[in-house]
Amino acid sequence: RNFARCQLMFLGFLFWGSAAALAFGGFFVILMCKNYKYFFQESFLPLPGWLAVVAALVLLPTGVLAVSISAKSSRYQQGALMHLLLILLCLQVSSAVLAQFYSIRMTSELKSTMSHLFYQYNGTYSEAPGNRAVDAVQKMLQCCGVQNYTDWLKSAAASWSLPAEKAHVPRSCCKEKYSDCRGDLRQLEQLFQEGCLRKLEDWLHFATHYLFCCCTVLSVLELLAGASNGILMRHRPFHDLRIL
């Protein structure tokens, strides 16, 4: 019984710290979907992130209850803790499963979506949403082209500004320290040369795997908290089961 109390107190403090880690993972997924929304066509992709954020908020009162019960048992607090742990398990399992599902699904669709937007590109100063998305992703990820910078030469849209003898890439491929860069392929040292597809896939995998790991670890900790709370409840059983 004393071990169960100590474990419940430790887990309560751990829940507070874990809430910050889970919220970070949730917001990371949400912001990534917002920043690269033109490349992620699935409208439900931010859902795992929002579920994680809600779970992080629920973790805070759960931690308070766990610490409080470890100091002084209360049948009402014990019942409330069991309810919160059940809610958290549902939220986190759903978030983990959806994160893995969307990661696999988006990886297979990302190449075709990105290739289409890059092919339709028709100039740095165009106001078309697709053009702004291409320029934004190349600046944020410090990349150029889908696979690499040579994709701009293979595309029919590569002639959108200058004659063929002056092969170039969009100015969003330029490194920031070169203020006079115009995307001239004869000055490769001024350009990002890695492709955007691999970098965006890496960010997607990092975000979804981080969220999956957080949810999995926290689910295990919550099962331990439930077991500890159950041990304490056995020593002071409910006579009126309506509290559950």
pLDDT tens series, the chain, 244 aa: 677 788 888 888 999 999 999 999 999 999 988 888 888 876 788 899 999 999 999 999 998 988 888 777 677 788 888 899 999 999 999 999 998 888 888 877 888 888 888 888 876 555 677 788 888 888 889 988 888 888 887 764 444 454 444 667 888 888 888 888 887 878 888 888 898 999 999 998 999 999 999 999 999 999 999 888 888 777 655 555 454 4
Sign of the Cα torsion 134, 140, 143, 146 reads: negative
Which amino acid type is present at position 85? L
Burial level of 134, CB count in 10 A (0-12/13-18/19+)?
A: buried
Q: What kind and span of H or E run contains 22?
A: helix 2-35
Give the predicted TM-score (pTM) of the model: 0.81
Helix axes 75-119, 196-235, angle to 10 degrees: 170
Task: Round to whole Å and give the CA distance between 39 and 137.
Answer: 9
Q: What are the boundaries of each domain within the chain?
A: 1-235
SS3 148: strand
Burial class (CB in 10 A: 0-12, 13-18, 19+), 232: middle
